[in-house]
Structure formats: C-alpha cells, structure tokens
Amino acid sequence: MKIGLLFGSFNPIHIGHLIIANYMANHTALDKVWLVVSPQNPLKKYGDLINTYDRLEMAKLATENASNISVSDVELKLPQPSYTIDTLAHLKEKYPEHEFALIMGSDNLVTLHKWKNYNLILRDYQIFVYPRPGYENAEFASHPSVTITMTPLMELSATFIRKSIKEKKNIQFFVPDPVLKFIESKSLYK
C-alpha cells in the first residue's frame, strides 16, 4: 500500500487539511493518507500550540468517517524534536510492507533545503505537493521525486481559526462539527 504522510500541528485541524488529504487519497497514486500529528515543528516557534493529545483527538474526530484517511501518533513516540527523515526511517522499519510518500505544500518545498537530510528524502521518497499562493516556483519542483498536484487551493489557516475563536467569531463550517464541539467543550483557543 502506498501511504501519503501529511505532517502538521493541526492546531486545530480544519477543512483545508481535510480537502488536501481527501484529494491526495483519491486523485493521486496514493492509496491512503495518514495525518501525522507533530508535537513541535523544529522550524516553527512554539507559539500558542495547545496540548498535543487534544490536537490528536480533534484529528481523529475529523476523520472518523473517512475510509482512506487516518491519524498517526508516531511522532509522539519518537525523540524530540521530530525530524521528518527520522519519522520516515521509523515507519519504514515498522511497516516494511508499505511504501511511504510525503505530502507538503509548495511553501514547504521552498524550504526543503533546510530540512535535516533533505537530500535523502528526495532520493528515497516521492513527494506530492499541493499549491500554496505565492510559492509557485520552488527549487525542487522539477525534481523526479516531486509531483506537483492540482489540489484545490484553500486559503484557510489554523491561525485564522484561532484568531476567530479569540475574537468570539463563528467558525462553523471551517472545522468539522465534531471538532467544533470538542473546541467548545474544552474552551480551547480563548
């Protein structure tokens, strides 16, 4: 089985993430997509990242009815900070029957050269890239391991959702209903 890995903080998960995962699972050579909840991206500031297990639970709630999208907590069990190359090596060893590929936005493709052992990622893994506004001409876009997809553009961010919650604005339809209920029940992002 060919599994695409979509890494993220999912702080919170929203319909943009789900559209990307659904597109990749149904419109590319991937059989399934795993949403990999990351405890902390080594290239990002900590900011207002909520509890990892709350983010994991929201991702599970958002995908509970998806047949070819699931949630992985693999990075929660690995040493921190979590580097993609280390997670990939761990998954390859744990699931030798699967072939793993990366899913990333074109904004991440632009910074791929900053990633730990990025050359090994390019050598050993296929990368499926979804478009992000302003990042059309990435250095590695023409690399043989990179597939640029026609994933629908969604200009929605977790930052926008967190800000909306703080400002007491309605976020219905930006996140799945079970995620909205979870956020409200725990008074998250206020």
pLDDT digits (tens, 9 = 90+) for 101-150: 999 999 999 999 999 999 999 999 999 999 988 887 778 999 999 999 99
Q: Residue 84: its pLDDT value, please?
A: 94
Q: Are strands 69-72 and 2-8 parallel, antiparallel or unpaired?
A: unpaired
Q: Residue 42: its pLDDT value, please?
A: 56
Q: Residue 155: its pLDDT value, please?
A: 85
How far is residue 8's CA from residue 146's CA, in Å, rounded to a whole number?
A: 19
For residue 62, the 8-state DSSP code is: H
Domains of the chain plus CATH, in order, are 2-186 (3.40.50.620)
